[in-house]
Structures are given as C-alpha cells and as structure tokens.
Amino acid sequence: MPCNPRYEILFEPVRIGPVTAPNRFYQVPHASGMTNALPRVRAAFREAKAEGGWGVVCTGACSIDPSSDDAPLPFATLWDSNDIRAHALMTEAVHRHGSLAGVELWHGGASVMNRTSRLPPLSPSGIPWMATHVGFMGNLRPKTMDNADIRNVLRCQADAARKARTAGFDIVYVYAGMGYLGYEFLLPEYNHRSDCYGGPIENRVRFVREMIEVTKDAVGKDCGVALRVSLEELRGRPGRNQPSEAHELVELLADVPDLFDVKMDSSPTDCSASRFTGEGSHEPVIDFVKSLTKKPVVGVGRFTSPDTMVSQIRRGVLDFIGGARPSIADPFLPNKIREGREAEIRECIGCNICISSWHDGVPVRCTQNPTAGEEWRRGWHPERVERADRPERILIVGGGPAGLECALTLGRRGHEVTLADSSRTFGGRLTFEKTLPGLSAWNRVVDYRLGRLNEMSNVSLHAESTLGADEIIELSPDRVVLATGARWTNMLYSSLEIPVGRLDHPDVFTPDDIAGGRLPEGPTLVFDFDNYYMGGVLTEHLAVHGVPVSYATPAGQASAWTIMTNELPLVHRALARRKVAVTTLHLLKSFDGETATLAHLFTGEETRVACHSVVIVGLRLPRGELFETLTERADGLAAAGIRSVDRIGDALAPGAIAHAVHSGHKLAREIGADIRWQPYRRDTPIVDAVADFDMRTAAE
C-alpha cells in the first residue's frame, strides 16, 4: 500500500550541517548494553534499524577518555585504533541501507567513579553527582577541574571526534545532559566556579560551547555536530533576558551546533514508563527550542503514533522524530508507515525492560521485540523468519504472551497452528494486568499479535477451549506446546530472604484472587516480596476501588526492583497520592483475621497492623499439572504421533512478560530442529596485539 499522504512529511530529507538525513526518523543515542566488547552484536542491532527505515541511527554513550569510566555498567569507548575498527562495523552496517550513523561522545564527569581506570573523577567544582547512589571504596570524591583538566578534556573530545570520523560516523555529538560533565557545568548546584566557566549562564555555557567548537574543528566538513542537552531543570529557572535559563542557553548556542538533540534531566522523566507518562511528554519542556534556532531539532517522547509524529513536525516542535524505545520495539516502524502498514507497527509498551537491561549490564531486551539483541547472536531478523522445511501441525495450549508469540512465529514459518485457551479472551495474565492503574498500554503485546494472527489462514484460534490430556491426545497434533502460565502462591518470606511456608487463612489473598474478581475487605495489608510492579500497582488498584490499604515489604523501597526501570520514585509518589502507608524492611510473620504481625528484617522487632485481609504478592510457580499428566502418558503420546511436548513462558519459568515473549519466540524458531541446546554465537572484541592508545594521556 502507498504511504498515507498525511505522513509524507515524515519522509522529507533534512540537512544537518554538511550531511543530509534521508527522512525525519532519527534513532537517537541510547544505551544498548553491547559496548565494544560485542561489536558484531552492536552492529547488527543498529543495522536492523537502518534497514527498517530510520534515517539516522546513533550509537549510545561513547567515552572519550579513561577519565570517563562507567564500569561495571556497560559503556562504549573511542580511545584507540581497536575502538575505531569496532565502531566501523556499525557505521558500515548502517550505511549499507542509506542511513546516517551518529556517535554520542561522552564524558561522565562526577557521575562516574572510574573504578577500572582508577583516575580521579572530574567535576567543575568537586561536587559529587548523586552522592547517595554513586560511590566507590569509601566514597571517592571527584577532583575539582583546573584549567589544565579543562584543556585536556577538550583535547580528548577533539581526538575522539577525529577517531569517530575515521570510523565512518556522519554525526558527532557533544553531550551536556543527564548529569554528565557538560551538564554539571550548566547547573549552579554543581558549578561553583568563580572564573570564566562559572557564575551567570553565559559563563556556565562556555565549556559546552568550547566542546562543540573543538568537535567542529576536528571533523571539518565531513560530519555534522550535534549538541545533546537536558533542559528540564534549566526550564524551571527564570532567565534574565528570557523566560528561563533554558531559553538563554539555546539563544547563546543557537548557531553553534548543527543540530539540537533536546531531552529531560533524569531517567524517570526522560524515559518515563507508560504507567506514569503518555506519548509526547517532553513537549512542555522543549517546545520553545525551534523558536530560538534555525538549526534542526530532534526530541523524543515514546512516539508510536504517526499522527502524533506529524503533529510535532507541523506545529514546529521538532524537525526530527526521535526514537529510542520505539525503535527497539519495532526497528521497521518507519518503513511500515511509508508502506501504509501502520496496523503492523509493534508499538512500544513503555514497560522500560530495555532500560533495566543496561542497569543489569547486559544487551538490551524488549518485551515487544524478542529479536532485540539477537540479530547477530542467534540470526534472528525482526521481520523475517525462515520457512520450515517440513510444516507440522502444532497445538499451543495457552493464549497469553508466550503462546501468542509462539503461534505468530510458527505461523510465519508455515506451520499449521492451533491456539487454544480456556478463557473467553486471549491475553493470559494481561487480561487482568491491563486493567490495573497505568498498564493499559501493555496490552499492545496482545493486540499486535492477535491482529497478525487473525490475518493468517494457517492459524486457528479457539477461546473457551479447555483441553486436558485426553483431548490433546485425541487431537493428535505433531507437536504440543504448553503456555499454561503460572500461579501466585501464599508463601511467606523468611529472614534468609527465601519463600518459606504458606499462610493459610480465608482472608489471605493472592493477585490471582483479585484477578478472579474477589475484592478483599478493608483495611487490607499488601505484603510484597515480588519487588517488581505488581505489589505497588495492585495496592493502587485496591485504593482506587475504595479499599483502605497499606503496603509492607522486606525490601528497602516499595516495588524495589522498579529502580531498574526508572519507576521507583514515581511508584512512591503514586502510593503517596493514594495515601497508602508504606512499611519497608519488614517481614510478615502471621495473620489471624484481625491483626497482621510484622517483624523488622534485621532486628526482629515486631509491629502489629490492624487489618481484615492480607494480599501476598510474592512467589509464582508454573501451572505444571497438564505437563506432568502428559509426560506420564508417554505411550499415549507416541501412539498419537505426538513428537514432543514443550513448555514456554511462565509455564517453564515464571518471570517478566519480556521473558515469556522471548521464550515463545525462541521455541518457535527452533522447534523441530536439532539446535535448541547449541550455544548462540559468542562475540569477541576487536583487539590488536598493540593498540595506539598513549598511556601518557591518562597520566596527564
């Protein structure tokens, strides 16, 4: 189908200094967790986006010098010739599809601890960044930069820019956001200097201006130079000659970079989860930038709707539609819009499991796109799968995220697929979870897959179909896949931090009870040792339904693991808005129908909470009864010609939805082939015996 005329503006070329982007789709720099240690994985991951139509594809934060060392978190480097060759794999891959390649040169300043390089962190005024979270070996404090340090960083930026040009990058960044060095010069809380780099905004901008200038001198006419800058904090500060210091910053630098990449200041607001923030949330902070510069502007906002994208362009908010999370969820988003296939877009659900991957130090994962990070390792293309040599009849029992993904991929491979679920609707756990506060966008996992499955003549969907072992054997498919999910238990939690014993009482509930329509009588205590989203969001759900509720956890924060998805502060704010009392570092010891007894995790001191019911959000276990029954009937399976019975998703190992989708996809790719237990390809760094990094640089 042709492109909808409304969307043709998105495919106009835009000039960035000496280079021209073929369209307005701009994959902004974002962490991938791949680094120079996995150069082929990184190149294939970025190449998929170029193939999918992103006109600009950037790599994430790339250190310019060992004084910017973020280990053990994953970070890329441009320090020596090995690094140039590693990055060249990515630029060559991106260029194969006619896209521009960009690199985000980065110095972390006081936000890094240089654990590996053991060089003093640098700071405009010796002020540590996020002192309660960042520390190393007795809370090493950063060094106050003197003029020699400033000159050295400027030289390192220029050297890295030249290396970037040699590696084939078309756009080279100066980074002044998210707490890193350039940003620290911009904020007076961290910049207490009294020289020409401190004081009024004109002076605080000087370091960033000089970084841009040395970058432009280094790359000459070969590359565009972009400034990535956080504006949220500065937008809230009144300016002397403009409405805010953010306005003054843009005015002062209006003609200096070739492109402005504008963003928020902290991860919880810059890449906020859909549970708390909708599409286009950055606009109130960055909407003024184009009024003060003639240079193109790119920004993000978890854009998935082409109508929203067009609105941003036509209203003069942005020149480029920036994508990080949406480009991971669907690398082919631009091509689908260009080809009139908007219904096929695999929309980002905003769960931020991708961001948690970086915090975990592993290559990026995505709930919607199970091929993310697997393009080179396993040879998985995000849009294409190999047809089966011999199509088979495959029965999938369970229509949740794992079952739907497995059915879709098997169907694309040409198998004859039957998907059965006992419920009235498909969706599994998401049938309930999508109704919880802020989680409606998560049902895109179901909607996308059902939409594609309903188009396939070789896939049949059967809701309200309860299948036992007898029915499965009678159907006699070639293979059986069980996606029967998991159940929440009423297990307690011990001081050894393991689930132990059950709390049996008529007024003890699990999330499954709430999903089934049972609402506890208040006051209710939610005891959460799952630590991801369910405990917090279920507490909100009860409060919304008028149930007086309090929350307790053995962790140090409510929904503690959501620090990995940038949601933790927003979870606490949400509970505070609902007036929920939060008790941390406590175990649930007992409950008698009127009182719950809590014990402090470390001291054992007991606290009694008056409540009529308890909801335990803790251990999940697979629903394994059907699998056990089938495996006990091996003779019947063989007689029926059933070659295999496999489990996927929560039925195999309960976890996040991303794990379930990946599990279903993996089995569908590999079913019937003798490769399931072979290791994936292992990437290696590109290393010469001697690289050209001058150790004297570090000594200076």
Give the closest residue to 579 by CA, choosing from 548, 610, 613.
Answer: 548
Q: Rounded to whole angstroms, how far apart are CA atoms 605 and 603?
A: 5
Residue 508: what are its φ and ψ, rounded to 5°?
A: -100, 125
Question: CA 93 from chain center: how many Å?
Answer: 23
Does 26 qualify as catalytic in the annotation?
Answer: no
Q: Judge contact between 235 and 226, C-beta under 8 A.
A: no
Between the alpha carbon of residue 648 and those of residues 305, 387, 403, 480, 489, the distances in Å are 31, 21, 8, 11, 20
Is omega for the bond preceding 29 within 30 degrees of 0, making it cis?
no
The per-residue b/e assignment along 267-301, b for 16 or more CB within 10 angstroms, e otherwise, is bbbbbbbbbbbebbbbbebbbbbbebbebbbbbbb
Between the alpha carbon of residue 466 and those of residues 149, 232, 416, 512, 514, the distances in Å are 70, 53, 20, 19, 22
Which amino acid belongs to residue 542? Answer: L
Question: Look-up: residue for tokens 């140039």?
Answer: 84
Three-state secondary structure of 449-495? HHHHHCCCCCEEEECCCCCCHHHHHHHCCCEEEECCCEEECCEEECC
How many residues make up the chain in this entry? 700
- The encoded tokens of residue 26 equal 């701009």
Residue 617: what are its φ and ψ, rounded to 5°?
A: -115, 95
- The encoded tokens of residue 139 equal 């809370």
Catalytic residue selected from 26, 180, 190, 493: 180
10 Å Cβ neighbour count for 529? 22
Which sequence positions are flagged as catalytic?
180
